[in-house]
Chain A
Amino acid sequence: AQSVAQPEDQVNVAEGNPLTVKCTYSVSGNPYLFWYVQYPNRGLQFLLKYITGDNLVKGSYGFEAEFNKSQTSFHLKKPSALVSDSALYFCAVRDGATDSWGKLQFGAGTQVVVTP
């Protein structure tokens, strides 16, 4: 069975400072990892993914994430946060070895608050 943990309910950061949102996962096969962002009363918006290849993945709006197989982590990062980055962030995993139909397992989400 696959699972995702986002250990922080909320992350507070000042505008201009680096932002990190943590995610660890558990799958039996190869992990396919995703980050999504959700603004109030909206659906989920895709940010970036790791399927294979380079451990550092670059995505939309200046976000990037680092895949660490030994630590089973996929932390989301942004070098300089903006007030507009304030939103709910979800990490999701799919087991590439056992799941051919794309079921996503989501974490509980991390609320990011960026203060001016």
Chain B
Amino acid sequence: DAGVTQSPTHLIKTRGQQVTLRCSPKSGHDTVSWYQQALGQGPQFIFQYYEEEERQRGNFPDRFSGHQFPNYSSELNVNALLLGDSALYLCASSLAAEWDQPQHFGDGTRLSIL
């Protein structure tokens, strides 16, 4: 049973560039959430996708956008990268019908901005 997979594992970009991160949810899950974890901090909620729509959004600027595909996989896009965007980006999946079950996390994508 495959868990949540994220790609790439590491990425180096420069300021002003754009980046796309990818996530495949755990088998059977239909909801994907994205979190940003800066060094030494807890994960911060970016947004959540279900049925290919953004259902909920955290306090992140419009430079952060996402997409969910019919197979439930998801992408996180960040435009006009800033040094402060350097972080571990975590994807979590869950099943919307099982609201009391925990989210399952991938190992993340480490994004470094130079």
Distance A71 CA – B113 CA, assembled complex (angstroms): 42
Distance A4 CA – B43 CA, assembled complex (angstroms): 12
Selected from A4, A44, A102, the residue in CB contact (under 8 A) with B31 is A102
Chain A count of residues within 8 A CB distance of the other chain:
25
Shortest Cβ gap from B106 to chain A (Å): 5
**A70-85 interface with B by 8 A CB criterion:** none
CB atoms of B45 and A104 under 8 A apart: yes
Shortest Cβ gap from B15 to chain A (Å): 25
CB atoms of B45 and A105 under 8 A apart: yes
Distance A54 CA – B27 CA, assembled complex (angstroms): 30
CB atoms of B105 and A108 under 8 A apart: no
1/0 contact string of A94-110 vs chain B (CB within 8 Å): 00000111111111110
